[in-house]
């Protein structure tokens, strides 16, 4: 089994090198001075080249082939080692399709484009960002062309495959179209026939430092280990799993609406818990798979299911606020003392169209995702030019959500993703919501007193279920396969709609 040990050693060394690049990226988004941007772009390009060289090494290909021919490793397709070798092969085949100069250019231009996006967003001026987005779209299309169009598919599928292996744009469209219609009908029902709950509990001025303290308090209760992670402030929140024992979370604060930061923190905390409980030597009785596919997350759809579950199924529940409100009153003050848990529960569960995706309520959130899916698919196809993006965004946004976009900052400049080439990423947010809802129904069956535990602030049982059933498998299973193994059925929209209708109709008095 020497070739197997050598394969894992190669993967570990590559992962260590890649972790340095992730640390550089995290620093750029948090503490890097703006004057360092040109040098950071060169650093990111150099690191991307080094990592790509290791991922495409002929020696790595030889080791994978030797493991594939070893029946003790790959003879049983259902075994862990066979899955590990299969995923090493997938990664190698994808990486070797990309020329090194393209990988370096994507990293270098992406770093520069991020800085341009930050300034353009602050100035609400798309024109500043347009030339950089044009470069990134061109580079991203070139990357997709290198991957190749899957049989019967389209160029966008090649990009989607990076984030949600095996998924296609046509399949996602087939899910999104009827789901969008059901969501739009629900929002129309709530806004036309219902009584909008009071949002007074959210309209308080609460200093950012108190919000930060409360966010860390909630993270600890969620079982995110702050001894192996941290929480910082950025323009666009994200989670970065840098290495074992080092998971970085970020959030942003609005003093006039404290729940925006709270739910952003819980969302990124859900990602962080997944990262901390992958089998990288820090999960009880699970081997150390750092640098192996078995130490990595299955897909972004499953990753998003974890963040959206903690943010919405936990954080927007009445049981959560029955536990959290007394602590919030103590830490945050500022008038929260006059509200009941029911007041917070109703205030954070609305169905009202708004401009910003990351601040959208559960009922409208997926409409924001569908907008982006359609636009980036058109950009990749060449049906939409970057110059026409703001107009197309504004037109489709008003059609989907019924409100006019007031400026670029609250329109096509609000998300950071396209600035560094994350095209094909957005659909995974809605896939995550669908997975979360379906998994949640199973979790409720298998943890009968889950609501009672949450009411006491005891989230250990939930975290253990997620770690045991999802996190510690790494990439042993495909996302759809894991969903069926855990829930007994293929992914569908009914659980999410049951969740939303069952919660929002009573709150609005429509059912």
The string of pLDDT tens digits covering residues 119-167 is 999 999 999 999 999 999 999 999 999 999 999 999 999 999 999 999 9
pLDDT interval class at 334 (50, 70, 90): confident
- Residue that finishes a domain, picked among 147, 177, 207: 147
- 349 shares a domain with 258: yes
Can you tell me the distance from the alpha carbon of 478 to that of 482, in angstroms, rounded to the nearest whole number?
A: 6
Over the stretch 176-215, which tens digit does the pLDDT of each residue have? 999 999 999 999 999 999 999 999 999 999 999 999 999 9
DSSP letters, 30-56, are HT--GGGHHHHHHHHHHHHHHHHHHHT
- 62 shares a domain with 205: no
- 356 shares a domain with 427: yes
Q: What is the mean pLDDT of residues 237-256?
A: 95
- 108 shares a domain with 175: no
CA distances to 259, 315, 317, 342, 346 from 200, in Å: 12, 18, 18, 12, 10
Residue 163 lies in a domain: no
Active site residue 268: yes
User: In the prediction, which pLDDT does 282 show?
Assistant: 52
Tokens at 119, concatenated: 């300034």
- 256 shares a domain with 210: yes
User: In the prediction, which pLDDT does 511 show?
Assistant: 79
Q: Between these two residues, 286 and 487, which has the higher pLDDT value?
A: 487
Over the stretch 57-98, which tens digit does the pLDDT of each residue have? 999 999 999 999 999 999 999 999 999 999 999 999 999 999
Which residue spans within 92-163 are E strands per DSSP?
A: none
For the chain, give the number of residues.
511
- 276 shares a domain with 425: yes
The pTM is what? Answer: 0.95
- 446 shares a domain with 359: yes
Q: How far is CA 269 from the centre of its chain?
A: 11
Q: Tell me the angle at which helices 80-95 and 58-68 cross, rounded to the nearest 10 degrees.
A: 150
pLDDT interval class at 224 (50, 70, 90): very high
- Is the pLDDT at 286 greater than 50, yes or no? no
Quote the mean pLDDT of the chain.
95
Determine contact, residues 510/503, Cβ cutoff 8 Å. no
- Is the pLDDT at 281 greater than 80, yes or no? no
Determine contact, residues 302/479, Cβ cutoff 8 Å. yes
Closest to 138 (Cα-Cα) out of 155, 121, 163, 151? 155
User: In the prediction, which pLDDT does 287 show?
Assistant: 53
Residue 103 lies in a domain: yes
- 142 shares a domain with 173: no
Determine contact, residues 350/503, Cβ cutoff 8 Å. no
- 395 shares a domain with 504: yes
State the total domains in the chain.
2
Q: What is the mean pLDDT of residues 399-405?
A: 94
Residue 245 lies in a domain: yes
- Is the pLDDT at 285 greater than 60, yes or no? no
Determine contact, residues 273/463, Cβ cutoff 8 Å. yes
- 205 shares a domain with 132: no
Q: Which of 115, 240, 268, 376 is catalytic?
A: 268
251 backbone dihedrals φ, ψ, rounded to 5°: -150, 180
Closest to 366 (Cα-Cα) out of 167, 194, 187? 187
- 486 shares a domain with 403: yes
Q: Between these two residues, 236 and 444, which has the higher pLDDT value?
A: 444
Q: 502: domain range?
A: 169-508
Which residue spans within 252-302 are E strands per DSSP?
A: none
- 201 shares a domain with 96: no
- Is the pLDDT at 7 greater than 70, yes or no? yes
User: In the prediction, which pLDDT does 332 show?
Assistant: 96
Residue 161 lies in a domain: no
Helix (H) or strand (E) holding 232: strand 229-233
pLDDT interval class at 283 (50, 70, 90): very low
Query: Looking at residue 261, which CATH number applies to its domain?
Result: 1.10.1370.30
Closest to 269 (Cα-Cα) out of 309, 219, 225, 316? 219
Can you tell me the distance from the alpha carbon of 218 to that of 231, in angstroms, rounded to the nearest whole number?
A: 12
């Amino acid at each position: 089994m020497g070739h197997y040990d050598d394969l894992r050693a190669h993967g570990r060394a590559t992962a260590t090198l890649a972790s340095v690049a992730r640390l550089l990226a995290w620093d750029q988004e948090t503490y890097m001075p703006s004057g360092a941007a040109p040098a950071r772009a060169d650093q990111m390009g150099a690191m991307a080249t080094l990592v790509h060289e290791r991922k495409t090494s002929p020696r790595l290909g030889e080791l994978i082939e030797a493991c594939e021919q070893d029946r003790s490793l790959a003879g049983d397709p259902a075994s862990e080692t066979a899955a590990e070798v299969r995923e090493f092969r997938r990664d190698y085949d994808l990486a070797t399709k990309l020329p090194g100069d393209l990988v370096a250019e994507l990293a270098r231009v992406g770093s520069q484009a991020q800085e341009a996006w930050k300034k353009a967003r602050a100035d609400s001026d798309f024109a500043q960002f347009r030339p950089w987005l044009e470069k990134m779209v061109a580079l991203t299309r070139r990357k997709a062309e290198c991957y190749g169009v899957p049989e019967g598919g389209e160029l966008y599928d090649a990009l989607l495959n990076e984030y949600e292996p095996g998924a296609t744009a046509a399949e996602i469209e087939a899910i999104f179209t009827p789901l969008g219609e059901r969501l739009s009908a629900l929002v129309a029902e709530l806004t036309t026939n219902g009584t909008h709950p009071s949002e007074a509990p959210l309209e308080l001025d609460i200093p950012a430092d108190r919000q930060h303290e409360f966010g860390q308090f909630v993270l600890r209760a969620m079982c995110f280990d702050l001894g192996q992670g941290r929480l910082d402030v950025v323009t666009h929140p994200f989670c970065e799993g840098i290495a074992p024992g080092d998971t970085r979370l970020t959030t942003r604060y609005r003093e006039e609406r404290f729940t925006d930061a709270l739910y952003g923190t819980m969302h990124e905390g859900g990602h962080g818990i997944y990262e901390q409980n992958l089998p990288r030597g820090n999960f009880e009785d699970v081997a150390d798979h750092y640098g192996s596919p078995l130490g990595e997350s299955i897909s972004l759809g499953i990753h998003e299911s974890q963040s959206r579950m903690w943010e919405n199924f936990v954080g927007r529940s009445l049981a959560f606020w029955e536990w959290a409100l007394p602590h919030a009153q103590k830490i945050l003050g500022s008038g929260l003392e006059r509200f009941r848990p029911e007041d917070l529960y109703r205030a954070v569960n609305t169905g009202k169209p708004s401009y910003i995706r990351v601040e959208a309520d559960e009922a409208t959130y997926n409409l924001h995702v569908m907008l982006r899916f359609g636009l980036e698919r058109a950009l990749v196809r060449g049906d939409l030019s970057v110059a026409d993006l703001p107009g197309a965004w504004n037109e489709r946004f008003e059609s989907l959500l019924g409100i006019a976009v007031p400026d670029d900052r609250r329109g096509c400049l609000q998300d950071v993703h396209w600035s560094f080439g994350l095209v094909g990423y957005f659909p995974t947010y809605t896939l995550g919501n669908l997975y979360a809802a379906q998994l949640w129904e199973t979790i409720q069956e298998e943890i009968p007193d889950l609501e009672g535990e949450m009411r006491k602030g005891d989230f250990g049982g939930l975290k253990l279920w997620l770690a045991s059933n999802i996190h510690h498998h790494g990439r042993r299973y495909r996302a759809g396969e894991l969903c069926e193994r855990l829930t007994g059925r293929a992914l569908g929209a009914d659980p999410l709609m049951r969740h939303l209708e069952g919660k929002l109709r009573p709150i609005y008095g429509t059912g």
